[in-house]
Amino acid sequence: MAAKKIIAVFGATGQQGGSVVSAILQDAKLSSEWSVRAVTRDTTKESAKKLAAQGAETVQADLSDKKSVVQAIAGAEAVFAVTNYWESLNAELEVKQGKDIADAAKETGVKHLIWSSLMDVKKLTNGKLPHVYHFDGKAAVEEHTRSLGIPATFFMAGFYMTNIPGQALRADPPAHVWTLALPMPESAPIPVFDITDTGKVVKSILQNKEKVLGKRVLGAYKYMTPKELLEEFKAVFPEAGKDATFLSLPHTAYTDI
């Protein structure tokens, strides 16, 4: 029997990476072909132990230490990588971490890097939105990865549904009326996504490598307008949602941030 191929998964104890680990290990066919190497800063923490109990190999690496990144990747056929801007709120650090992963993938001969990317908002808006660092940083890493000429695919998640309650949809004082506030008309289609479905998309990327090399793969289970999102909220929470409303914010609400 041929030895299993290895996929190294960064952010393995996080939501995206954890979803990838579980999706592969729970798939009978894929788990017979692939071994999962779950990369984490601390292999002794409970979340890492749970991955090991599922059948993953857990290895330690610090994204700010390129040497440890190279060691974590060595021998892997594929790599899934994601970085977390919100952990440090440091755009330069996130870009460096992502570029180091791409460089390490090139140095170790990885045959398929799957990078969790996002759009370059500053470029798309001609500089009108210059501070969307958690998007632009990942876009910069994608650009760097492409410049290296390594075999790669770029996964792009849609709008997380979990980001709606408490952020876009809130009941603020003094009225305490639930309001969905977004800088768009109520008829604008939004690609919505459940972060726990990341693994399903990455599985498909692995299984269709030749078709998706060099391409972006968008993750969304449907398109919903703000109006439809609000209607769904009202259906699930009829009492709280009876007076719920949508507020189309002016673009300056974001350009001035």
Question: Residue 201 contacts by C-beta under 8 Å, 6 or more apart in sequence?
Answer: 155, 217, 219
Number of domain units in the chain: 1
Residue with tokens 């939004």, as numbered in its chain: 190
pLDDT at 1: 59
pLDDT at 99: 99
Structural domain boundaries, residue 95:
5-159+194-221
Within a domain: 22: yes
Q: Which of 94, 78, 75, 77 is nearest to 86 (CA)?
A: 94
Within a domain: 233: no
Q: Percent helix, strand and coil across the chain, each rounded to 5?
A: 45, 20, 35
Within a domain: 108: yes
pLDDT at 182: 94
Within a domain: 215: yes
- The tens place of each residue's pLDDT in the chain, 257 residues long, gives 578 999 999 999 999 999 999 999 999 999 999 999 999 999 999 999 999 999 999 999 999 999 999 999 999 999 999 999 999 999 999 999 999 999 999 999 999 999 999 999 999 999 989 999 999 999 999 999 999 999 999 999 999 999 999 889 999 888 899 999 999 999 999 999 999 999 999 999 999 999 999 999 999 999 999 999 999 999 999 998 999 999 999 988 777 66
pTM of the model: 0.94
Within a domain: 177: no
pLDDT at 254: 74
Within a domain: 169: no
pLDDT at 257: 62
Question: Residue 245 contacts by C-beta under 8 Å, 6 or more apart in sequence?
Answer: 177, 178, 179, 180, 230
Quote the distance between the C-alpha of residue 155 and its chain's center.
7
Within a domain: 229: no
List the CATH number of the domain containing 32.
Answer: 3.40.50.720
pLDDT at 201: 98
Residue 99 and residue 97: Cα distance in Å, rounded?
Answer: 6
Within a domain: 168: no
pLDDT at 256: 66
